[in-house]
Structure 1
Amino acid sequence: MISWLDASVDEQRRMRELAALFTQRESRDELGLGQIRDSISDALFPGTSTLHTRARYLLFVPWCFQYAARAKPARRVKRLDEVERAIIRPLRESADPDGLLGLRAGAALKNLPSSVYWSMLRRYEILSRPVGSAEALDHSVPTRHIDDDGAVTMTSIWSVPPPPAGFPYEIPDGFALTPSEAGWLRDHILEHASGTLLTHFTLTRPETDSSTPWSDAAAQTAPKRAALVLRHAEDFSTVMHGAQLLYNYLLAVDADRLGAREESLADTYREQFELWAMTVTERTRAWRFDDLHTVLRREHDGPVVIAPGAQAFVRAWSSLVQSYPARALVDLPEAQQLIRHRERIKGAKMRLGNAKRLAAWSGAAGSEALTYRWNNVRRIMADLHDGLQRA
């Protein structure tokens, strides 16, 4: 069981993301790189998270609030809960339910869309004021204003197009954005994520099957500022992937030595390490953590919190990459000792040298290269561009 106390919506979001990472192999933070990974992700794709799956949720949540706000004040919170669960059925029955929150849990879903997407709604100012859900409910019904000249305007805390007829019990188009909805979302991203790689992909559609943002053809035309962040993201991913693979290789070696697994994976990870070594270029060797840190401080317009231990580990590993042939690192005592020392941050939960913990090892512990939420971002961008292209 995991429990926590949160004092803000942002802290709650971070903890939900942390819990979600346990189910994503490529996101497992075995070497304590999460703060750096997330800072890079936020610089590339501000407002996004590993919990965000489809673009139209940025409309579903406000529509649910507007619908629930019609109820009497004492029933609004309960009505909101009912409405958020009600949209699961029509979305599950739609032509493309991929990314549906509650696809398996149904109405028993624990993390409702409003809690998952709240930070994104605030980041893009779809929610016009930084308030909590209770206050948002009270201000979700448009308010009539008359100015000094007698002109009448209707204002709401939500800046969204109107919902489709029959919402929330009928959603014929499912997750498919209409052209007007897609144009509305595009404008919000362009205004509130200006100059980032996310803005570039908002204007230039990414490929449907690219495995990383830097391998996508659309990234080749990214503007200078976004391209610099992307270059550091790629270099950091490449450099640290070697450490991730060495960690898994050492787990496999220890598992063999202690008889913790029936199947040996040592040769498999040695081969993967050799393949990684072939990806290390002169540019990769020249990469410096301090340069990345400078770029992140500029992108975040202030200090970036990164634990001193994580900084020291990244500097030490990148120094080894710069000083030795990449293929030699798998057997280098200094490299192995660095990984084993880093593992000690887990205390009693450390796997290396621990037969009991190794017996529960799945065979892959954070062995995939970092891609910075790319699968989620690519899906959201596909939704947006599909909507813009719909006749």
Structure 2
Amino acid sequence: MSSLAWIDFDEAERQRAQRIIALFQERESRDELGLGSIRDSIADHLFPGTSTIQTRLRYMLFVPWLYQSLEQRRRAPHQLKEEARTLEIRLVEALKTGGEKKGIIGREAGVKLQRLPSSVYWAGLNAWGIRLFHGSIDSYFAALQRRRLDHTPDESETSAERYSNQKFWTKGLPPCPAKLLDSTTFRLTKDEAGFIIDRLVSQQPSSLLTHLAQHRVDAECDYIWEHPQRHDFPAKAQHLVQQADRFSAVLHGASLLYNLQLSERREHDDWVRSYQQRIEAWADGIDLKAIQNWSLDDFWKTVEHPAHNIRPATRRFVAQWLEQVASGVERISASYSARSLVKKRESQLKSSQSRFTNRAVLDRWTGASGAERLSFRWSQAKSHLRDLAHAR
């Protein structure tokens, strides 16, 4: 992503920008009402190191294996970057040869692949303590050259010994399989699964992801609060999941009302009927008593995360929407104040690009923007946990 080169010096900002760009390409993850900081805070507490564009867990090993193979090559940073890209493209073909059909990053794009697996998993590798080098991919390649030039060779050292002291990757990384780039699969070995679990226990000991990974839990459910073993979660995780469930349920109504209003402006009767029905179903599912007793002060304390700044305007919108819901959820689709609240929020966020004021933007709308419940990256976490559970 050459367009992000200007923030290459700041890894945190780079990752944040990549998340924003990715969200614009994922229909149901669009953050039309500015709830992304809350969503990501909760997701990073529950499932740290995951992202919505991750596919399969073994990429957490593929990337360091491929990058390690470059560390002893005497190349300039731009040459190493190109060689890394070549290796990642070869990995696509190796996975196809191995019989994999789903989850391959670049399966269709091939040599035209823009978002490489390394960029997708780079932040997660750091969060799980697999990557010890704190910096961007470009700075990693620059560091390889710099450290090689700074190192005074000792004739008694082997090449492997010189580079083992560079601390780019954690000790104990499982060995790269022979002929990895000829044929491979997403199936983890037991040793590889054990390594990943050890990393999670070491770096993310209090996360729900770690708890589930330790127990090799493979559960099929759409949302984490529907998990069959939810009552066995640690107490802190249970509380966070409860808060996530409540937030997702309540704010889903605001997203549906947003889509309903746009459907009305487009005068698309089928869309209007669909969203009216969905709002009715949403209202029927709301536990009004629980919502009326919901403490937002407790919620904000629970979801607070150092990597995300939840702005005062976002907090006010959530509080005002909660008031709308608590005062009469069954009338919300017809409520002028509820409609105005949603419209004002989107307009403030998008300014001249608001679909309420810019007809050209509205006409490009395809009928759904962020219309599904927030799931806080459970889909990706579930996939990773399944890969751990089926290691052999």
Query: 2:333 corresponds to which residue?
Result: 330
Match of 2:141 among 126, 134, 139: 134
Match of 1:296 in 2: 303
**Local SS of the residue matching 2:390:** helix
1:262-321 deviation digits (Å, cap 9, x = unpaired):
x53112111100100111112233223322111123xx3x58511222111111001111
Task: Return the offset for 1:205.
Answer: 4.2
Matched residue type, 2:301: T
Could you state the TM-score of these two structures normalised by the residue count of structure 2?
0.87
Distance 2:254 2:155 in 1: 60
Secondary structure at the aligned position of 1:161 is classed as: coil
For 1:283 and 1:70, locate their aligned partners in 2 and report how far apart those are by CA, in whole Å: 59
1:170 aligns with 2:182: yes
CA contact (8 A) 2:263 2:271 kept: yes
Alignment of 1:163-312 (within 5 A): 163-167=176-180, 169-172=181-184, 174-256=185-267, 261=268, 263-281=269-287, 282-297=289-304, 300=305, 304-312=308-316
Q: Which amino acid aligns with 1:180?
A: D
What is the aligned counterpart of 1:386 among 380, 383, 390? 390
Distance 2:283 2:313 in 1: 25
CA contact (8 A) 2:219 2:227 kept: no
The total of aligned residue pairs comes to 371
Alignment partner of 1:343 is 2:362: no
The 1:338/1:2 distance shift into structure 2, 3 A limit, reads farther
Q: Distance in 1 between matches of 2:110 and 2:163?
A: 39
Q: Per the alignment, do residues 135 and 83 of structure 1 end up closer, same or farther by CA in structure 2, a change over 3 Å counting? A: same
Question: How far apart in 1 are the matches of 2:189 and 2:127?
Answer: 22
Residue by residue over 1:192-232, the C-alpha shift from the partner in whole angstroms, topping out at 9 and shown as x without a partner, is 11111111221234445311111121333110011111111
Structure 2: distance between partners of 1:357 and 1:83: 40
3-state DSSP of counterpart to 2:360: helix
* Contact 1:238 1:284 (C-alpha < 8 Å) held by counterparts: no
Distance change in 2, residues 1:96/1:294 (3 Å): same
| Counterparts in 2 of 1:135 and 1:171: CA distance versus 1, 3 Å | farther
Distance 1:338 1:154, change over 3 A: closer
Separation in 1, partners of 2:314, 2:155: 53
Change (3 A) 1:210 1:330: same
Which shifted more, 265-274 or 72-81? 72-81
Distance in 1, matches of 2:178 and 2:140, equals: 24
Deviations 1:342-363 (A, max 9, x none): 1212112111254433322111
CA distance in 2, matches of 1:219, 1:209: 13
Going from structure 1 to structure 2, the CA distance change for 1:303 and 1:18 (only over 3 Å counts) comes to closer
Does structure 1 conserve the Cα–Cα contact (< 8 Å) formed by 2:187 and 2:387?
yes
Q: Which runs of 5+ in 2 are unaligned?
A: 157-161
What residue is the counterpart of 2:87 in the other structure? 83
- Quote the Cα distance in structure 2 between the aligned partners of 1:24 and 1:207: 25
Q: From the superposition, tell whether residues 158 and 171 of structure 1 become closer, same or farther in structure 2 (CA, over 3 Å).
A: farther
Residue identity over aligned pairs, in percent, reads: 34
Matched AA of 1:170: D
- Between 1:57-66 and 1:2-11, the stretch displaced more is 2-11
Aligned residue among 372, 375, 378 for 2:379: 375
Map of 1:24-103 to 2, 5 A cutoff?
Answer: 24-74=26-76, 75-103=79-107
**Range with greater deviation from structure 2 (110-119 or 239-248):** 110-119
Distance 1:303 1:17 in 2: 13
C-alpha spacing 1:154/1:269, structure 2 compared with 1 (3 Å): closer
| CA pair 121-144 structure 1, distance change in 2 beyond 3 A | farther
Residues 350-380 of structure 1, C-alpha deviations (whole Å, 9 max, x = no match): 1125443332211111110100111111111
5+ residue gaps, structure 1: 147-151
Checking the alignment, whether the CA contact within 8 Å between 1:13 and 1:116 is kept in structure 2 is no
CA distance in 2, matches of 1:101, 1:270: 37
Structure-1 residue corresponding to 2:159: none
Question: How far apart, CA to CA, are the structure 1 residues paired with 2:45 and 2:154?
Answer: 39
CA separation of 1:2 and 1:69: change in aligned 2, threshold 3 A: closer
Other-structure match for 1:149: none
Q: Which has the higher helix share?
A: 2
Q: TM-score, normalised by structure 1?
A: 0.87
Q: What secondary structure sits across from 1:87 in the alignment?
A: helix
Q: 1:153 offset after TM fit, Å?
A: 12
Rounded to whole Å, the distance in 2 between the matches of 1:144 and 1:162 is 26
